[in-house]
Structure formats: structure tokens, C-alpha cells
Structure 1
Amino acid sequence: MRRSAHFRELLPYQVATDVSVAGVFGLLCLPFELTIGGWAAESALPTVVMCLLFAAALALRRLSPPLALATAWVGATMQMLMLRPPSPVDLAIFAVLYATAAYGSTLVYWLGFSSAIVGATVITGYLFGSQLLSAASWSVLPLAAAVLIAAGFALLLAWTVGALVRTSLRARRTQRERERAERERIEE
């Protein structure tokens, strides 16, 4: 595969693995998601599209972290527009955040970090927004704060693990370059 600004070089088995994992993920999530939304025809097609978006984000996470991040945001936005609760399909978001930190460009690295913070804020607003705007906001405020902290922690944890992998990969690459330079120096 040719390297470009948005796509990383992966070995064929890596692409096959990522597509297979995403396919199994989508097939496992789809019945659950259809059960939540009901099997009615009007909700089935959007539910299938939403599951396909999250599965696609999962499949693209290593090949194209920026495209995976954008796809995950589209899937999450669609999920909220359909007024659906958080569900197992959202697990793909953690893998995408990990990949943005581990494999993304510097811009994508920081977009992943920002997405974790914005995502935690958005999900908290989505779950508690109407209650926080009503007169009963003081009673729900502690729960909303707890959800914000928990969501932020979980999303940032996925991103942080990716950032640690990124640092490890860079250190390993630097060490290999030093060893190669040392071998070349000795051979001269």
C-alpha cells in the first residue's frame, strides 16, 4: 500500500486483521443495537448505518487514524440524532482514540486528545442537558459531574495508552537508527 498523508502503510495481514475484527464487531453489535431501537423498518436502516460507521471507524483506525476519527464522530452524531443511549457500539471510539495517539500525525494526535475532552463533554450534555437546563438542575448536577469525570477519564485513558505506545515506538525507532549508524561507522 502506498503511503500518503492520510493513510499509513500496513502489511496485508494487518489490514485483513483490522477488517475482520471490525466485521465481527459490527455483526455482534448489530443485533443488540436493533433490539434497543426496535426492529421497526424506520429505525432499522439508520441503526444499520450507525453500526456500519462504527465498524468502519474500527477497521480504519490503524490505516487512517484521521479518517477513523472523523467516521467515529459521524457515527456518534448519528447515534445522538437518533436519540439512542450509549451502547456497546461505542467501544469502537476507544480503539479510535488509541489509534489517533499511537499512529496519527501530530495534528491527529492532538485532535484525538481534543476529541476525548469534547466527547466527554458532549456525552454528558447529551445525557443530562435537558435536566441541567431545568429547575431541577441542582439535584442532577453531582451525577452529571460524575459522568463527565468518568467519561473523560475513560476516553483520555484510551488516548493516553496510545500516546505511550507512540513514545515507545519512537524510542525503538531511534534506537534502531543509532544501532544502524554505529554498524555503518564500524564497517567503514
Structure 2
Amino acid sequence: MFRPISRTWLALDIVGSVFGLLVTLPLSFVLGTGSLSAWMQPEWLAITVHLVIGTVLWGAAAIARIAPALALIIAWIGAAAQMAFGFPPVPFDIAVFVVLFGTAAWGSRRLLWIGGASALAGGIVAGLYMGLLQVDLLRESPPDVLTRVALVALLMGTTVGFALVIAWGAGLLWRVVRHGRETREAQLRAEAVASEEQERVRIARDMHDVVAHSLAVVIAQADGARYAAAADPGIAQQALGTIATTARSALSDVRMLLTQLRHRQGDGPQPTLADLETLFAQVRQAGVEPRVTVDPMPPGEPPGAIQLAVYRILQEALTNALRHGDGGVDVRLSWLADRVEIVVSNGFGTAARPPAGGHGLIGMRERAQLVGGTLVAGPDSGSFVVRATLPIGSALAR
């Protein structure tokens, strides 16, 4: 029955209705002087009832926004009372237009059509009522009276009905505009949420790629240094240097990602194909020998998005080889005219289990999908194989 609205709108509606009452009520008295009611006497009683009906109608207009159904009921009661007491149409009846506007603009779907039906019914009833008022005003022969009553009823009913439908239609138009604006705002909110979610996923993916790879290298170097320290302290020192370098690089990357998260800045420098040799060197120093084959070579400079995807996929695949693999790892890059194919294969021993899922494999698949490619990973003849195909050329020019 009551809609939630702000106090500001409620106050404006009340003030506007009071203003409408103060403007239209004196005009109603002036236009209706001497004929407020066809039969009500004395005059002061007619004036009192006149004032009450005007107040009721504008009271309905005051609540048309917060309670359009109740406002329509009150407006019908006020109009019925006005006809029952024999009052002619007067300026304070403008409040009915406000009520019909409210039923279409803020009412439920059912009330919307009830308001439209009320506009049509109100035109018919008003026409008949105003035609009947002519009976007491005309002092002519019965045929002339009936003709004029019919003409007045038709003319006034059409005019009033058209005006009421226009008020209802204006409310319907406002309803459409308001719903369109709300839909657009909801769409913008959904797009903002989706954009934020994509940004969180991207940062989480980058964070995983950086931290997981760096920690895998650090752990491998630390384990190697622990066993080599007793035999050759120099190897331990070299391993500690690699650990420090890897940790500093990872810390720098993490700080960059956190800066993007905190300040929503643009992407910082991203890895390219030129950084692959550093990646292979880190894996080699961690105790795993990557056997790299590039055939054919890249035909020119690949797009930056492809270079980043290739680097991150190789980084995660080599990290999995460090954590779960047993022995060396084979890396093959095939730069074809329209695509690049990546194959990373490593064995795994009986004590180690190949990665069956987790953030790493999900991140690799997302990397491939972001550039329109595909990636599959899983055991194959005693090895764990990652295969990715990334399109290049016109597919990335869009």
C-alpha cells in the first residue's frame, strides 16, 4: 500500500498539494458563486462541503507517490461525493489528474491498468453527470432538452475523458523513462562489479604466477644449498645469491601488483619473450634442466599480449615441473604464421603426483582464453604434458 520514498519527496508532494489547494479553491468559489450546489442550502453548508471535498481531492494528490492505490480510492470517493452533493466541475478537480499520473508512474502493474480504466470510466461518468446538470438549467421543450443533454454529455465526456487519459499517459511515459533509467543504472552497476571481479582475478592470477614460481625456485635452491654446504661452501653461497635475487625480483613484482590494486593504476612493465632466458636460467639453477626447442622461430615481433601469455604459461608449467616433476623438462615453441603452439612435458616419479588442478592450471587456461587460445594439461604416457595454442595475427588485431 505504501511505497518507500525519501522524506524530501514526501515533503515536496505535501507542499505542492497545499499550494494547489490554495490556488484552486478560491477559483472554485469564484466560478461557482451562486450555484455551488443545485439543492444544498444554506449557502454556508454548501461552502463547507465544497471546502471538504477540495481538501480530500488534494489530500489524495499529496499521497499519490507514496500510496497511489489509496490515493485513487480517495479520489474516487471525493469525486462521488462531489456529484452526490450536486457540485459542478471546478478547478480543484485538477487534483484528480495528479492522482491518475501517480497510478501510472508509481503504481504496481495491476494499478497501472486500473488507473487507465479509471480514466476512461471517469470520462464517461463525468459526461453523463454534466449532461444531467443541464436538465435543471434548461427550461425548454422536452425534445430540445434531451438533445442538448445528449450533446453536452458526449462533448464533455469526450473532453474530460481525453484529459484524464492524457494525465494517465504522462504517468505511463514517466514510468517507462524511470524504469529505463533504473535498468541502465543496474546495468552499469553490474558492469562495474564484473570489471572489478575481472581485475581481482587478473591480479590473483599475476600474484600466483609471480609468487608460486619464485617460491619454487627459492625452495629448490635452499634444499640444494643445505646438502651442498658440507661439501662445497661455494655452491651454497651461489645458491644463496640466487635465492636473494629471486626473492628481490618477486618482491618487486608483488609491490607492483599491490600498487595496481590499491591505486587502480595501469599495468606496469610486463614480461616479454626476451625474459624467457632469465626464466630458463632460474629453473636451471634450481636443479632442473629445461630442454628448449624453438622451431620455427617467431616471424617478426609477436603482439605484447601473446608474449605475456607465452611467458606466464611457461612460467607456471616450469614451476609445476620444479614442484612435482622428476628429472628434466622439455619445452617446445612453434611459431607458425597464424598461431604459436606450446608444449611442456616433464616426468614425475612414484613419490610425486602430477598437479590435477588448482590455481596454477586454472591460471594457465585463463591466460590462453584471454588471447583467444586453448590449453589442455594432464598425464600422458608417464609424463605431465601442457599443450597450448594461441592465435596470432589478425585474430589479435581487433
Q: Alignment identity in percent?
A: 33
Bigger CA radius of gyration: 2
Out of 14, 17, 20, the residue aligned to residue 12 of structure 2 is 17
| Alignment deviations for residues 15-34 of structure 1 (CA, whole Å, 9 cap, x no partner) | 11111111122223333444
Match in the other structure for 1:171: 180
Between 1:116-125 and 1:170-179, the stretch displaced more is 170-179
Match in the other structure for 1:162: 171
CA distance in 2, matches of 1:95, 1:147: 20
Q: Is 1:183 the counterpart of 2:169 in the alignment?
A: no
Match in the other structure for 2:387: none
Report the residue type matching 1:174 in the other structure.
Answer: T
Report the residue type matching 2:64 in the other structure.
Answer: R
By percentage of residues, which structure has more helix? 1
CA distance in 1, matches of 2:190, 2:12: 34
Report the residue type matching 1:7 in the other structure.
Answer: F
CA distance in 1, matches of 2:149, 2:84: 23
CA distance in 2, matches of 1:129, 1:46: 21
CA distance in 2, matches of 1:156, 1:42: 33
- Structure 1 pair 135/44, CA: closer, same or farther in 2 (3 Å)? same
Q: Is 1:77 the counterpart of 2:80 in the alignment?
A: yes
CA distance in 2, matches of 1:119, 1:107: 18
- Structure 1 pair 154/7, CA: closer, same or farther in 2 (3 Å)? same
Out of 95, 118, 129, the residue aligned to residue 121 of structure 2 is 118
Q: Is 1:146 the counterpart of 2:142 in the alignment?
A: no
Report the residue type matching 1:86 in the other structure.
Answer: P
Between 1:142-151 and 1:63-72, the stretch displaced more is 142-151
CA distance in 2, matches of 1:139, 1:84: 20
CA distance in 1, matches of 2:57, 2:18: 10
TM-score scaled by length of structure 1: 0.88
Report the residue type matching 1:24 in the other structure.
Answer: F
Q: State the 1:130 CA deviation.
A: 7.0
Match in the other structure for 1:60: 63
Unaligned runs of 5+ in 1: 1-5
Out of 4, 8, 11, the residue aligned to residue 3 of structure 2 is 8
Q: State the 1:9 CA deviation.
A: 1.5
Q: State the 1:40 CA deviation.
A: 2.6
CA distance in 1, matches of 2:51, 2:116: 28
Q: State the 1:148 CA deviation.
A: 2.1
- Structure 1 pair 114/49, CA: closer, same or farther in 2 (3 Å)? same
Contact preservation (8 Å) 2:127, 2:158: no
Q: State the 1:135 CA deviation.
A: 3.7
Match in the other structure for 1:43: 46
Corresponding residue SS for 2:3 = coil
Match in the other structure for 1:101: 104
Between 1:24-33 and 1:135-144, the stretch displaced more is 135-144
| Alignment deviations for residues 134-160 of structure 1 (CA, whole Å, 9 cap, x no partner) | 644345434432222212211101100
CA distance in 2, matches of 1:25, 1:150: 22
| Alignment deviations for residues 29-69 of structure 1 (CA, whole Å, 9 cap, x no partner) | 33344452388332132112101101201111111111111
Q: State the 1:79 CA deviation.
A: 0.8
Higher RCO (C-alpha 8 Å, min separation 6): 1
Match in the other structure for 2:25: 30
By percentage of residues, which structure has more strand? 2
- Structure 1 pair 142/73, CA: closer, same or farther in 2 (3 Å)? same
Match in the other structure for 1:3: none
Give the paired residue count.
Answer: 182
TM-score scaled by length of structure 2: 0.43
- Structure 1 pair 119/16, CA: closer, same or farther in 2 (3 Å)? same
Corresponding residue SS for 2:103 = helix
Q: State the 1:81 CA deviation.
A: 1.0
Unaligned runs of 5+ in 2: 136-141, 198-398
Q: State the 1:99 CA deviation.
A: 0.8
